Structure 1
Amino acid sequence: MSNTLLLDSLTFRNAYLLMRHGHSEANRQGRIISSPARGVDSFGLSARGQTEVGETLAAWRWARPTRVVHSDFLRTTQTAARVAEYFGVAPTRDAGLRERGFDELEGGEDARYADVWAWDAVDAGHERFGVESVDTVAERMVAVMRGLERRHEGEVVLLVSHGDPLQILLAALAGVDLRHHRDRPPLQPAEVVSVL
């Protein structure tokens, strides 16, 4: 597969904001939680994460979202619920925004992310440790945007997702070689960026 994702056929009719979930219980424990079996119903926001989301809302400087779409993991669901309530919109779940799957590393120490990222820099299609490839993550994240583009126009869409998928999406949107998705500074918990 190519190291970049071609977006030529995607014409944007909406504006997009990307938001990483607030600090989570998985972050607090230093664990990798990427499996829906664990992440959808547990490992939500920590107390610190709740505070971070509140601080982001209090200092909001981006366009007002008219639509909030989020991963179905608990940490993103809780983040999106706070944002959606603040702006008076109904949040929508989309499994396409889920955390990157880390398979064999599931439940282990988050220091192991570095092992995966080292291989990412060599091959965006690798699946070492059973991980979901960068290519696959990019395709599913862009597919979410394509679906939104087909269904909506003139909206400000906030996508609430996870660190790695958002890094990969930003690289894809910028037309950057996906092997270099870690070159950009990572989004911090509860951080928002505007794209398009």
Structure 2
Amino acid sequence: MPPLTNRYLLMRHGHSQANAAGLIVSDPVRGVAGFGLSARGEAQLAACLDAWQGPAPDAIYHSDFMRTTQTAQRLADHFGLTLAPHPGLRERYFAALEGKDDGHYAEVWARDARDPAHRHAGVESVAQVATRLTAVIDELERRHADQTLLLVSHGDPLQILLTALEGRPLGEHRDRPPLAPASLTPLSRH
């Protein structure tokens, strides 16, 4: 990918009701309509905004899942911006593991490390997620110039995006420290 013309801030949504319940919620049918932020997630966002030291965003794009929409709305209210939902920022789809205990992530991630193209149990592959998220960046690079864009998404997609943009093997996406809920990660311009 060529050097970025915009500044990007990546944010994982705040702690959610799905996190609190220990459930995988990756299907838009369930995730758009339910499983919003927990009280802990609301507190995390308040703390993030109180400590904000980076540039103010010019635009906010977000996954249309409830937990990311609520996170983005809180940020939009703070900065006086409107929301722009983008389905390309949705959660990684875990298919047959939907609604199951989040302990199943470890098995998927172990398979990811061996084969980033695997589709075990119908899971969206790491390669597919990387293609989807880098396409969002490409689109925003065409749409904006020299702006600060805040992207609110989910832990797995953001870790995969960062790994792809660093040019590292996609199977290593879990080798990087996990993104904390309501955390900001700036993308390098080069």
Would you say same fold, with TM above 0.5? yes
Separation in 2 of the partners of 1:192 and 1:28? 21
| 1:91 Cα deviation from its structure 2 partner | 1.4
Describe how 1:1-196 pairs up with structure 2 within 5 A.
Answer: 7=1, 10-196=2-188
Q: Is the 8 A contact 1:70 1:160 kept in 2?
A: yes
TM-score (norm 1): 0.94
Please give the per-residue CA displacement for 1:84-120, whole angstroms capped at 9, x wherever unaligned.
Answer: 1111111100000000000010000000000000000
Q: CA deviation at 1:11?
A: 4.0
Q: What CA distance in whole angstroms lies between the structure 2 residues aligned with 1:127 and 1:57?
A: 38
Tell me the distance in 2 between the aligned counterparts of 1:128 and 1:179: 14
Seq. identity, %: 55
Cα distance in structure 2, aligned partners of 1:174 and 1:57: 28
Distance 2:6 2:141 in 1: 7
**Partners in 2 of 1:146 and 1:41 — Cα distance?**
28
Alignment match, 1:3 = none
Q: Distance in 1 between matches of 2:184 and 2:124?
A: 24
Partner-residue secondary structure (3-state), 1:158: strand
SS at match of 2:84: strand
Secondary structure of residue in 2 paired with 1:149: helix
CA distance in 1: counterparts of 2:174 and 2:146, whole angstroms: 31
* Conservation of the 8 A alpha-carbon contact between 1:62 and 1:194: no
Does the 8 Å contact 1:98/1:162 carry over to 2? yes
Measured in 1, the distance between the counterparts of 2:91 and 2:82 equals 22
How many residue pairs get aligned? The number is 188
Instruction: List structure 1 segments (4+ residues) > 3 angstroms apart after TM superposition.
Output: none
**CA–CA distance in 2 between the matches of 1:126 and 1:94?**
25
Question: TM-score scaled to structure 2, two decimals?
Answer: 0.97
